[in-house]
A and B are shown apart, each in its own frame.
Chain A
Amino acid sequence: MLFFIQSQIMFYIAIGLIMFFPGYFLLLAVFEKSKILSVLEKFILSFGLGMIITDFIAFIYNKAGISITAFSSVLGALIFCLISYGIYILKFRKNKKLTPNEIEKKESEKEKKLFSFSKKQFILILLLLFLTFFIKTAYLTGTVAPTATDMGHHTYWAKVIADNGKLTDYENMPDFIIGEHIVISEIHLISGESFFSAFPVNFLLFLNILGILTVFILTLRIFENKFVAIFTLLFLGVLFAVTSPQAKFVSGGVVGNIIGNYFMPMIFYFFYRAFEFLKDSDIIKGETKQFQSNQTKKFLALGIFTTFGLFYTHHLTAFIFLFIFLFLVIFFTVINYKDLTYLSKKIWKIIWSPQVISVLALGLFFFFFIFIPNYIKDNAVKIAVGHPSKSTRDGLSFTNLKSSIGEARLALGLLGLMLLALSYKRKNFGYAIISSWAIMLFIMSSQPQLLLINLPSSRIGNYLSYPLSILSAYGLVAIFKPNMFNFKMTNANSHFSNLISKKTLSATFIIILIFVFINGLADSAQAFKKSPDFTPMVQTFSASKYLAQNTQKSDIILKDHNYIASSDTWIKLFFMRGYKYPLSRSYFKRYKNKTKLEKKCNLLMISSPDSSDAKKCFANTQVNVIMVNPLFDSAQFKKLNNFNKIYTTSGIAVFYKNK
């Protein structure tokens, strides 16, 4: 029990050491004690920045041949924190600013105003946060056991890094990216928590919540409206809390998506803060202008830094981000074409600054000379671009989108998009971000052929829930509190308010809210299902442990994926003899159109071990150990005199080929 408590405490310490503190000290070095970021924003953003810093430290270690251990991980983080603190002290001494100046006081007041909530709002935020955690935790209670296929794959790679003390080349597979595994690996090294514990799920749950909170602060900054931000928390955190890409992705170990859904809003946040000034650029003058210009460059530099972090973490999110970003640039340029010369001068000044250029150059240097992501080396981009090659990549229908995002969120989101167009502020970069984010994802998920995207449409559709949650919140608040927004159709707006009585408006609001809650909480029913029986899982692990102790690397193991409990992808963690070890008999449907013998070997060696083809396969593959479910695959081995049944439980049997 003492060890259990101690390892948990170490887990939180590890999160603090390699995720929070590096990010926090980076923000301290960049912004000093400036109030341009609220305490809440610093807290939410620090973890993401810290993760990217940890990745970059690991790249340096790898290049320098320094082993990645618990000690070196902590040391690297501490050195970074000390350097950042040193920079902060130097800047502080140089500026000798013991008291904030007038501009900073104004910023502080703005931040205070934006982040001080009424008592009711404050309670509502706490309630929404509680419900978000509660629903997700309730769902994860039944799924926290190490059974998820993807989680098995990811933890294997994290263990490879931890065991070898260096980064991996993923056996030249482009499906995995280094940023998905460095932090998990280091948390394991520092805390000592087993990969078979709840730590990977807890880590992803935390990132999932941080992603939601990032959207919350992004919304608050863009709309400067607390109602919209709070409703965003409702639409993204509480409603549809289980369905993909929320708790289901957490339990399923969809690591890249979870981190991507944290980093992408972070990038948008930094980009928005960098170009936030554009909306007031006509009225800002003198010292304030200079101050804002400095802060702007810092935000853009942080945005670029986070973009590199994203590219080192998840290629799908990075790919989607590129499309959104491109659309954002075109969209913002088109709607501001009248002021293009004026705006481009301002934007260019920011981009062409030492802060931005140095981060860009450093990022590119790392990207091409220190550690190249394997998806770049293996041309994964070519696979993602082209005409859709499968029906699942043809695009989602409206019905598909409804089930993917949720009817209420889709309806209100589209309404929100229309209302945003009505109250559109051309120079508000935030409005352009939200619109581009939603519109581009709509196109990518429903009409991929227009953009020559050859990726599973449902995977892209999952990303829509983020911008649509913001737009749903905006839509809901804009309908019932239209005076909060500057609608261009002011006459129509006032007519709208006059036409409908206050009572009718309140009743409509309640009816819509009921519809939203019924629709949005329907998936949460899954959270309270009875947990399955995990006996097959422990039997699989027990057999794997037995084989790990009694076999060598020269023994080739073949296991079945069809009838062994879903935890079979975790078997390889017991051996650590390669990603594709043990071999696997895949789903039967996958062998249907295979004609070449070597492609069918894993099927034949289990299904008909005495056939002449199977014998050839045994000779070629050197398979000598078979793991199967005895209820389905035992009889064919029993009648053979060259197989010994060496291990059995009710769910797993192991056969050893002795001749």
Chain B
Amino acid sequence: MQPKKIILFIIILFVASSAWLFNVSRKEINPNAGKNWWALYFQNPKSNDLNFVIENHSNQSNFHWEVLGKNQKTKEGTVNITKGNSQKIIVSDLDFSSSQNKKVIIQVNTKSSKKEIYKNL
């Protein structure tokens, strides 16, 4: 009888341990749980398309964006993105056809941080 009880105890301990570890890893792999960061990227990285995405996993929700061509602001805006969501910003209406070999920078600011991505057209 004792060996059976030992087996049962081992099974209970293993199930409890693994359930705990599954739960911990689920939280750790979750980009939002207990984390504070955001990402900025082009929707189409290989083309000249400048549409971009702000993916928010931070506690900030207000994002101010600017499109800079020839070091000048050509378009700007503010979006509100709650934690765990992302927002696509469409700037394909901008015409940079005369800006061959020029760098177009997308700059995004929150209260505490700033990020930029760019394309050389």
Identify the A interface with B (CB < 8 A): 4, 8, 11-12, 38-40, 43, 115-117, 122, 125-126, 129-130, 133, 136-137, 140-141, 144-146, 196-199, 201-202, 205-206, 209, 213, 531, 533-535, 537-539, 541-543, 546, 550, 638, 641-651, 654, 656, 658
Interface residues of B in 23-42 (CB under 8 A from A): 23-26, 28-31, 35-42
- Are A539 and B42 neighbours in the complex by a CB distance under 8 Å? no
B residues contacting A by CB (< 8 A) are 2-7, 9-10, 13-26, 28-31, 35-42, 44-46, 55, 57, 101, 103, 113, 115-120
Q: Name 7 A/B residue pairs within 8 A (Cβ), A-sorted.
A: A12-B15, A122-B6, A133-B17, A144-B25, A198-B26, A534-B29, A648-B115
**Bound state CA distance, A17 and B121, in angstroms?**
57
Contacts of B23 in A (CB 8 A): 4
Residues of chain B lying within 8 A (CB to CB) of residue A538: 29-31, 35, 37, 57
Decide: A122 and B2 in contact? CB cutoff 8 A: yes
Bound complex: CA of A40 vs CA of B8, how far in Å?
A: 10
Cβ–Cβ contact B35 & A644, under 8 A: no
Q: Provide the residues of chain B in CB contact with A651, threshold 8 Å.
A: 37
CA distance A209 to B37 in the complex (A): 38
CB distance from B74 to the nearest CB of A (A): 18
Contacts A539-B37, A550-B45 known; A145 to B29 CB distance under 8 Å? yes
A201 close to B21 (CB less than 8 A):
yes
Chain B: CB-nearest residue to A194:
B29
Chain B residues with CB under 8 A of A40: 3, 6-7
In the complex, the answer to whether B46 meets A39 with C-beta atoms within 8 Å is no
Partner of A645, one of B18, B26, B31, B118: B118
In the complex, given contacts A116-B2, A133-B14, what are 19 additional A-B residue pairs having Cβ atoms less than 8 angstroms apart? A4-B22, A8-B22, A140-B21, A141-B21, A146-B25, A196-B25, A209-B14, A533-B35, A538-B29, A538-B30, A538-B57, A541-B29, A546-B41, A550-B46, A641-B103, A644-B117, A649-B37, A649-B39, A658-B119
Main secondary structure of the interface of A (DSSP, over half): helix
Residues A648 and B35 in contact, CB atoms below 8 Å apart: no
User: Which 9 interchain pairs have the tightest Cβ spacing?
Assistant: A40-B3, A198-B25, A646-B45, A647-B41, A202-B18, A198-B21, A145-B28, A133-B13, A137-B17
Closest to A552 in B: B46
B17 partner residues in chain A, CB cutoff 8 A: 133, 136-137, 202, 205
Known interface pairs A40-B6, A126-B9, A141-B20; A658-B15 also in contact (CB < 8 Å): no
With A145-B25, A197-B26, A205-B18 given, is the CB distance from A641 to B10 under 8 Å?
no
Taking CB as reference atom, which chain B residue is nearest A535?
A: B35
CB nearest neighbor in B for A145: B28
Contact yes or no, B25 A126, CB < 8 A: no
Distance of A539 Cα from B115 Cα, bound (Å): 14
Looking at the assembled complex, report how far the CB atom of A292 sits from the nearest CB atom of chain B, in whole angstroms.
Answer: 23
Residue numbers in B under 8 Å from A647 (CB-CB): 39-42, 45, 117
Q: How many angstroms from the CA of A202 to the CA of B16 in the assembled complex? A: 11
